[in-house]
């Protein structure tokens, strides 16, 4: 068998040539990247109008996403306030109620249990019912002892919460077990629907951004038709001619994404004061949250990707049809 020839190491001359080609390639991309921005700045009004349309298309789903995140944050706070009220038999005394509470505290799905005796419940009822004067004429306190149970499971865990409610209802001393957080379940269901709706709206508006950028690049190609023909006539490749238009689409996306972030910030700033006022009326410390660094970066990356994709589609369709005559 013939011996395999040892693999030759690249000579310093070849390595230097590769580095020069790579350096020239990167330098050319950088020049085209900056030149495409200069081309946009020489036409400020059309550039601003196109970027503004892109920004509005991106700001709408971004604003809806922020609103959904704030509602979810508010709903998470309500999850912690989920309570199951156990109304005991009116003949049950305080000793029996404490024994039942001590036994239920060992349950793995229960976080905390508080006992409201008959007198405390009667005082609360007088304050919230508006019949305080009339209730003073009652000879006996008709209200039972109430145990308020704070479960470990949340309203999103519907089946586990229903099982716990049914289990507590089967206790001998419990006359009625009531969960007053059904509306929170409906809120979570509506939030899930809203999340799907945001994805649908976002997809439609992303398609609109692609069409906007694609049409803008198409018009730019037609305006520079003579320049493209001359470049191809002297031997420029399609990749060389395509590059400025791709970077133009990227700049459109970046400018549109930045304006979309500014519009979202402006909307949150305008809503912050009324939301804080409403929150104080309900004795809450809730405040509007913004996009944050991660979501802002995602918005800019999505905008750049849409701009680049729209320009790629337009260039691929219209640039190949231009040939020097």
Three-state SS for 47-100 is HHHHHHHHHHHHHHHHHHHHHHHHHHHHHHHHHCCCCEEEEECCCCCHHHHHHH
List of E strands, 124-202 = 146-151, 174-179
> Alpha carbon of 42 to those of 31, 48, 115, 211, 304: distances in Å?
16, 11, 74, 23, 21
Q: What CA–CA distance (Å, rounded) separates 242 from 227?
A: 12
Total tally of structural domains belonging to the chain? 2
- The domain in which residue 206 lies consists of 29-77+186-318
Q: Which of 201, 196, 164 is nearest to 83 (CA)?
A: 164
Tallying the residues shown for the chain, one arrives at 325
Model pLDDT for residues 26-45, shown as the tens digit of each residue: 776 788 778 788 878 888 89
Considering the domain boundaries, does residue 2 fall inside one? no
Among 113-117, 156-160, 185-189, 191-195, the range scoring the smallest mean pLDDT is 156-160
**Residues β-bridged to residue 115:** 147
- 239 located within any domain: yes
Does the pLDDT value for residue 89 go beyond 60?
yes
**Cβ atoms of 79 and 155 closer than 8 Å:** yes
Across the range 2-7, mean pLDDT stands at 55
Highest mean pLDDT among 70-74, 88-92, 216-220, 230-234: 216-220
In a domain, 292, yes or no: yes
- pLDDT for the residue numbered 137: 44
* pLDDT tens-digit series, residues 101-143: 888 888 888 888 888 776 665 555 555 444 445 445 445 555 6
Q: Is residue 22 part of a domain?
A: no
Collapse the DSSP code of 175 into the 3-class scheme (helix H, G, I; strand E, B; otherwise coil) and give the result.
Answer: strand
pLDDT for 10 equals: 55
d(CA 53, CA 260): 10
Say how many C-beta atoms besides its own lie within 10 A of residue 324's C-beta.
11
Q: Are residues 95 and 64 in the same domain?
A: no
Question: Does pLDDT of 99 surpass 80?
Answer: yes
259 pLDDT above the threshold of 90: yes
143: domain CATH number is 3.30.70.3040
Residue 256 is predicted with a pLDDT of 92
Q: Please, which pLDDT band fits residue 262 given cuts at 50, 70 and 90?
A: very high
Q: Is 174 helix (H, G, I), strand (E, B) or coil?
A: strand
Instruction: Indicate whether 235 and 312 sit together in one domain.
Output: yes
pLDDT at 1 over 60: no
pLDDT at 254: 92
- Mean pLDDT over each residue of the chain, to the nearest integer: 77
């Amino acid at each position: 068998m013939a011996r395999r020839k040892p693999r030759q190491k690249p000579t310093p001359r070849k390595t230097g040539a590769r580095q020069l080609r790579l350096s020239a390639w990167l330098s050319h991309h950088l020049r085209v990247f900056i030149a495409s921005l200069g081309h946009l700045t020489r036409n400020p009004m059309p550039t601003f109008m196109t970027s503004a349309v892109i920004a509005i298309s991106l700001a709408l789903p971004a604003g809806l996403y922020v609103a959904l995140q704030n509602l979810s944050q508010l709903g998470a706070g309500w999850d912690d306030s989920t309570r199951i009220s156990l109304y005991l038999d009116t003949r049950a005394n305080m000793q029996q109620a404490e024994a039942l509470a001590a036994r239920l505290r060992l349950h793995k799905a229960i976080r905390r249990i508080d006992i409201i005796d008959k007198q405390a419940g009667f005082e609360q009822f007088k304050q919230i019912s508006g019949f305080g004067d009339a209730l003073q004429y009652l000879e006996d306190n008709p209200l039972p002892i109430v145990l308020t149970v704070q479960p470990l499971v949340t309203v999103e865990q519907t089946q586990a919460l229903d099982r716990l409610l049914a289990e507590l209802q089967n206790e001998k001393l419990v006359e009625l077990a009531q969960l007053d957080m059904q509306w929170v379940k409906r809120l979570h269901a509506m939030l899930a629907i809203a999340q799907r709706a945001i994805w649908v709206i976002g997809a439609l508006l992303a398609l609109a951004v692609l069409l906007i950028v694609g049409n803008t690049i198409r018009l730019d190609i037609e305006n520079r038709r003579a320049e493209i023909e001359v470049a191809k006539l002297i031997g420029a490749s399609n990749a060389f001619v395509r590059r400025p238009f791709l970077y133009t689409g990227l700049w459109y996306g970046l400018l549109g994404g930045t304006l979309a972030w500014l519009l979202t910030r402006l909307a949150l700033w305008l809503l912050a004061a009324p939301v804080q006022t409403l929150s104080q009326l309900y004795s809450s410390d809730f405040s509007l949250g913004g996009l944050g660094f991660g979501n802002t970066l995602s918005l800019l990356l999505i905008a750049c990707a849409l701009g680049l994709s729209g320009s790629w589609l337009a260039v691929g369709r219209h640039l190949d049809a231009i040939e020097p005559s």
